[in-house]
Structures are given as structure tokens and as C-alpha cells.
Structure 1
């Protein structure tokens, strides 16, 4: 379910997925298929890891990447969940063919 609620979305970001919701900062993003696909990839990841484990893994990996790169943007872009979502957001059929736990391929 897509919800417009800019106050839950962190500054500098346009959207946030927390299963089963996609929170958007701007109503116009509802029609951005690529952006919505990116967020739907995150929803699928959250389902696989039973939601709570997704967020635990996400933040642990973020802090490891932050230590590794010493840069917020590089750390964020190199989280395995984000790498999978960014690499496949343009493929609108990706979720139909995606294998379970595909984010593991994006660990490095």
C-alpha cells in the first residue's frame, strides 16, 4: 500500500518501505514506476527476512559499510539490499523472476 506521508521519510530521501507500506514524500512519486519498483524490491526483501531481521541486517551492514568507506552515501549505496534494488529498479519484471534471497548476490 502506498501512503503519502512526508514526515516519516528521512530528509534527503523520497521514499521509505516498511512492510506492507511504501511511504512517499511527494504524491507525484506514485506514478514513478522505477521508483516504486525499487521500493517494492525492498518490500520483498523484508518479507523474506521477516521484517525485523531485514532492519537489523540493514543497519548492521550500513555501519560496517560506513566504517569501510567513511562516507554516508557510499555506505548506503553499498548495502546489499540497496545494491539489489538499484541494480534492478529499471527492470519492471524483476520481481516476477526474482529468486528468494537474491540480495545475497550483492554482498561484497
Structure 2
């Protein structure tokens, strides 16, 4: 998968994946292989959902979590796409063996299994 790195010092997040770009807050983050892998996982998620539906599901999952947890951080860390990315960001070979729609495994888990 081809992607482009962009450095945006005013980025409101530490890093972000918006297909086909990985946006970083600092140039030094280009060497952070775990962070880049996390964002590459998001790019793969976006591709398998044909990009636009990814953003719809991501926001919907976030807002549902916000109602459940009443806390931005808990809502964010419990987004199914984030749960997959954080779970496997340290496995630099993950994308070579990842099953299609693996994020759904995290989406269907009961709220009792969620972080929080």
C-alpha cells in the first residue's frame, strides 16, 4: 500500500490517517515505526470500507461510545478501529497477516470487554 507522509505542526492530534496520507504533528515522528504502523492499519481499514463508510462508522462508533462513557478519551480508545490499531501497532508484520474486516471483532465485543 502506498501512502504519503505529511507534517502538519498545527494538527490537533498527534497523528492521523486520511487516505492516502499519514499526517504527523512533528517531523521526528517519521522514524516512529509503531506510530506509522498504527496509522497504516487505519489506512487498510479505510481501504477495505471504500474510504467514506470508514469515516461514517468511525464517527458513529465514537458518538455511541461518548453516550456510553460520557468521556472523550474513553470514547476514543473504545472505537473499534482504534482498538484494533492499538492492539497490533507493535506488530510490524501485522498487515501482512491481517484478516479482512478484523476491526469488526472489536466492534461486536460487549461493553463489558471494553476499556474503561
TM range (shorter): over 0.9
TM-score calculated relative to the size of structure 1: 0.94
User: Residue by residue, what CA displacement relative to the aligned partner does 1:38-71 show, whole Å, maximum 9, x if unpaired?
Assistant: 0000000000111110000000010000000000
Deviation (angstroms), 1:5: 1.5
Where structure 2 has 5 or more consecutive residues not aligned to the other structure, the ranges are 110-116
Give the Cα–Cα distance (whole angstroms) in 2 for the partners of residues 65 and 6 of structure 1: 29
Q: Does 1:82 align with 2:82?
A: yes
| 1:64-103 superposed matches below 5 A | 64-103=64-103
Deviation (angstroms), 1:6: 2.5
Q: SS of the counterpart of 2:6?
A: strand
| RMSD of Structure 2 on Structure 1 (CA) | 0.7
Give the Cα–Cα distance (whole angstroms) in 2 for the partners of residues 6 and 46 of structure 1: 24
Q: What's 2:7 paired with? A: 4
Contact 1:6 1:23 in 2 (8 A): no
Give the Cα–Cα distance (whole angstroms) in 1 for the partners of residues 20 and 9 of structure 2: 17
Give the Cα–Cα distance (whole angstroms) in 1 for the partners of residues 30 and 72 of structure 2: 27
TM-score calculated relative to the size of structure 2: 0.88
Where structure 1 has 5 or more consecutive residues not aligned to the other structure, the ranges are none
Give the Cα–Cα distance (whole angstroms) in 2 for the partners of residues 90 and 60 of structure 1: 27
